[in-house]
Structure 1
Amino acid sequence: MMTHRWMMMIGLGSLLACDALGGGEDGADAAAKTEVAPAKVDAEKALAETEAEAKAKAKEAEAKEAAEGETKAAAPDETPDKVVVEETHTPVEPELAPMSRPEPPFVALAAPPFAQTLRREAPVTQGPRPTLEKIADKRNAIIDEDAWFRDLGLRMPTWEIPNPFTGAPGDLPPEIPATYQGVPIAKAIDGGDFSIAFHAADRLDVHQLVVRNKAGDVIAAFDLEAYRSTPKDDPAEAMFINQELRWAEVRDGVLLICSGHRTYAKSSGGLNAFITALELSTGELLWQSAPLVCNSGDFLVRDGWIITGYGFTAEPDFLFVLDAKTGEQVEKIKVKSGPEVILEKDGKLYVRTYDRNMEFELR
């Protein structure tokens, strides 16, 4: 009985609650609508936020894709798995080409004494003095010089220089340029460990020389203009008596040069055709020979001794042996005409003059 009455009271309370909300079903609908409205607003807000976030992410993805496209365009050869490592090293200076090597200016040397002089012995390594024994002396055809070289297997230790008149290119090695300080080359001597180039604007007035090592580096560059004229020159013969460089060799840091003019010795008072020894590094004069010992096309240096020659029309003709340490004459051999070429091969000395070919045993 009590339970029934309790249940009736609960039911009555529920009815009163419904009336308080608007009565019957209308009250329930209002309550539902009141609960749904905030939920709908929240859902719409969440949807808007989701759409905005999606748009932002889409823009971010587009920007990233565009950036990656620019990177690929800048480096089309790169692949994703390629790793580029930057190397760090000390830069190596490239080897200079012949034409770009430094060209120190010519050093002008003082006038020589034009007389036999010994200021200091040349530090030349010296062996036994050579002896010469003539084994052949016969006339040549004068114009058969090429055949003489060919038949004996001889050659002058020189390179052919370019000829601007004929256009012949010559055969200079790449380390020897055709000009130095703008002055054309006139002769190029193959001295083994060194090359010696004579330079002159006028090939009949050669007084500049350049010495290089095998790599082509300049060791010395001298201007010997002061060697051209002597105190005894005849002014009337001035145009014929410029004393030019004729030959040069390098031994043990010593530069040996032959210089002289191409006419009679009396035109310069007998002061002609010297060999002079210079310190290669400075140009200091060590000694000068007596005059009239060298107007040959070359001279030979053998074991610290110099074999050279002199001769001219109506003048005595000789081969000479000089001490390369002092310039002193140690032997003088009379010949029938002035030596022009002096070469050694297989223990023999071959000497060609204007009209004769000679051979000597060289011991």
Structure 2
Amino acid sequence: MKSKIGSIVLISLGILLAGCGKKGTEEISGETVTTVEESVAANLTENDTENPAESQTMEVPETVPAIIDIENPSWDYYIGNEAVSKASPLKLVQLTEAANAITDTEKWFEKNDLSLNAEGDERYGCEIYSPYNSEECDIQVTDRENGESFTLHFEGFRYAGDFTEENEPFVEQNIQYAQVEDGILYFSIGHLTYAKFSPHNAYVAAVDLAEKKLLWKSEPLVSNAYNFVITGNVLLCGYGFTEEPDYLYQLDLASGKVIGEIPLKTKADYLILKDNILYVRTYNTDYTFQVE
């Protein structure tokens, strides 16, 4: 199955992502490796007191971040307040298309001098909890401006209810990737098996961190790549699977609506934008596109 091969390769990369990370994953050079892994250790937090003597005689309670439940309003496209579209589809001119060795992902990153480092948001940082590494489907957010920390809880996004009982173990959805831009948290969520077993999956969604509310949720089956790319008013993402259509999608950042698509030979695993060149790594094919 293509997705499992891609997951194994992902774990071996140890690629860094600024801004959002997987809670409990290995830290390298001060950054948190962001992968979708099936087992990781839980982080422990410590609290200090200003008075050393008091710390010897009393236990300081651990600060527990506020938990905000984000309701899933629909298993199809949703938008809270109708947004004015700010985006026109990017013109993507294909430059190259070449078969890869499937297992040479790390060499692809090195050859093209690519990384998953995102600039992120100066004010907000976040870490992902998902069913693969905890019992919850959460994103913990830190507001660097005022020191506030809170957890966004996405329990209502885990099971779509469109599956049969025998497929339940395979259709639990988890948060794949998250990134904060201009105070908005964008994240992708879905399961890792065939869409026919639970077709309402593989979404991108947006949450206003100041208001702590869901702004929009895209159509299903648009994003199961390991990451997405935000450039200007467009979010670039990819979806595909064995015996399913494989596409590179463009979403309007303001509304989450699909505004463009390009067919690919196989499922997109990584999308990296560098110097106006979009590098797309799929299961067995590498592409480059000039972004105009």
Could you state the TM-score of these two structures normalised by the residue count of structure 1? Answer: 0.59
**Relative contact order higher in (CA < 8 Å, ≥ 6 apart):** 2
Q: What's the C-alpha RMSD, in Å, of the aligned pairs? A: 2.5
Match of 2:103 among 137, 143, 160: 143
CA distance change for structure 1 residues 267 and 127 in 2, over 3 Å: closer, same or farther?
closer
Distance in 2, Cα, partners of 1:263 & 1:129: 29
Partner SS state of residue 237, structure 1 = helix
**Does the Cα contact within 8 Å between 2:188 and 2:224 map onto a contact in 1?**
yes
Amino acid at match of 2:114: L
Superposed CA offset, 1:64-110 (max 9, x none): xxxxxxxxxxxxxxxxxxxxxxxxxxxxxxxxxx8439441322222
Distance in 2, Cα, partners of 1:271 & 1:282: 26
Superposed CA offset, 1:103-150 (max 9, x none): 4132222233010122225699x5664211111111111111111111
Distance in 1, Cα, partners of 2:87 & 2:73: 28
Distance in 1, Cα, partners of 2:211 & 2:64: 16
CA distance change for structure 1 residues 99 and 281 in 2, over 3 Å: closer, same or farther?
farther
Quote the residue 1:154 is aligned against.
Answer: 114
Quote the residue 2:128 is aligned against.
Answer: 198
CA distance change for structure 1 residues 219 and 323 in 2, over 3 Å: closer, same or farther?
farther
Partner SS state of residue 212, structure 1 = strand
2:173 is the counterpart of 1:243? yes
Match of 1:357 among 261, 286, 290: 286
Quote the residue 1:100 is aligned against.
Answer: 47
Distance in 2, Cα, partners of 1:201 & 1:331: 31
Quote the residue 1:231 is aligned against.
Answer: 161
2:65 is the counterpart of 1:118? no
State the shift of 1:156 in Å.
Answer: 1.5
- Higher share of residues assigned strand: 2
Matching of residues 23-102 of structure 1 within 5 Å: 99-100=46-47, 102=63
State the shift of 1:202 in Å.
Answer: 3.7
5+ long unaligned stretches in structure 2 = 1-44, 49-62
Amino acid at match of 1:111: N
Amino acid at match of 2:279: Y
Distance in 2, Cα, partners of 1:202 & 1:134: 36
Tell which deviates more after alignment, 213-222 or 149-158.
213-222
**Does the Cα contact within 8 Å between 1:106 and 1:208 map onto a contact in 2?**
no
Distance in 2, Cα, partners of 1:205 & 1:285: 22
State the shift of 1:213 in Å.
Answer: 4.5
Superposed CA offset, 1:23-73 (max 9, x none): xxxxxxxxxxxxxxxxxxxxxxxxxxxxxxxxxxxxxxxxxxxxxxxxxxx
Amino acid at match of 2:76: A
2:222 is the counterpart of 1:293? yes
Quote the residue 1:255 is aligned against.
Answer: 185
- Higher share of residues assigned helix: 1
CA distance change for structure 1 residues 119 and 216 in 2, over 3 Å: closer, same or farther?
closer
Amino acid at match of 2:109: F
Superposed CA offset, 1:314-360 (max 9, x none): 00000000101111111010000010101100110001011111100
Distance in 1, Cα, partners of 2:133 & 2:73: 22
CA distance change for structure 1 residues 156 and 273 in 2, over 3 Å: closer, same or farther?
same
Identity in percent: 28
CA distance change for structure 1 residues 308 and 201 in 2, over 3 Å: closer, same or farther?
closer
CA distance change for structure 1 residues 119 and 100 in 2, over 3 Å: closer, same or farther?
same
